[in-house]
Structure 1
């Protein structure tokens, strides 16, 4: 099996190094990742300039683009051999609830949706790397079990791992996405030359963290596993739109 590994923290991030080390014993792994931090890039593609892959001394490929660029190029001609699976991460920081709308890590996994095997997105709930070995072990075990999973095509598995040593993790829970409240207002700043700018503020607080959500699971010490699908159609909403059918 061949696995394409990507992230949004950048090609030099400790999470992607740990993930590559953990999966290399299971498959032939290739890393293509952004040349810098592209957190929050979502599923954006770079269309206003060419992309220039560079192979680093450790064999990883650095790309001056987004996480989606990395997977898109990897699956569509950059690599000589076809890839069987996409695994994204390990993100340093959670991707829970509404975070998946913005996450470059989740977007990288979504770009692997055309492959026959499920795509994984792994996140550790910390910016520190102390418990990164535990997260890497969880990633290895889950990817190793891919053949036991019965999922429809184009399913992405979003995994959030509490910042705990392996022996303190309480187990794995299958969860739905929770929801956050509205984010705080952007923070205005002025540079030394008097030019005003704005910083995007932190994500909103938990609004829906009920039992069964990813928020609740990780707060209780469980690894959260949420299946995601690309189809965002709100099927129940059709009934409320019938008035538009007589518009013309």
Structure 2
């Protein structure tokens, strides 16, 4: 496996690849020009490796991922990263990296082992996995409203289908956080386990799946994804989020969150 700066990837002799977000001191933030691109590259490599049967995604430290990296502006790696406008990114299907679509279309089973905070994009990373084992310390939240944007990696489609319209409205409009037990009750995770048993449980599940026929796993997974249609509003989600990022309110919200200041008074423009 390739070595990365912000993730650690290892594969065992049973065909289980472990992908760990590795910025524990910063709660494993996700930014599009580094972490997202590394995850996309690692998953692409795992998908092409015939020895890999299952992937486990987790975060080191006390967070799975607390979401967007607000304090460090990602450094562009190419001229396109540096200069592309929002309309160009939407038109050419390059939405600050393609991790979300790589996750959605990944052919092999993926298990999220959620060890702590899974917020914003961190929760979206988890729910785009196929199964979720949660530590009893896990906390989930679609908190993008605190930055003045809508969730834009399929949460606005996924959550209403999973928990119903009204509960999803409350979760998203108010950035409502839920604990692991609530997530289990709502059908948002498969299992809740003690924190010190999390990786043992995730590996046991991965070993069980890895022992099954890999082609059957891949094609069955594809059928279930088609039944869910969670990506049908993906481009619209991103278009709305990109539009909102051009508004005064969202710029103010983003700056306040980055500087850990009080929520600004919104003006509707």
* Coarse TM-score class (shorter-chain normalised): under 0.3
Flag the structure with higher strand content.
1
The higher radius of gyration belongs to 1
Q: TM-score, normalised by structure 2?
A: 0.25
Flag the structure with higher helix content.
2
Q: TM-score, normalised by structure 1?
A: 0.27
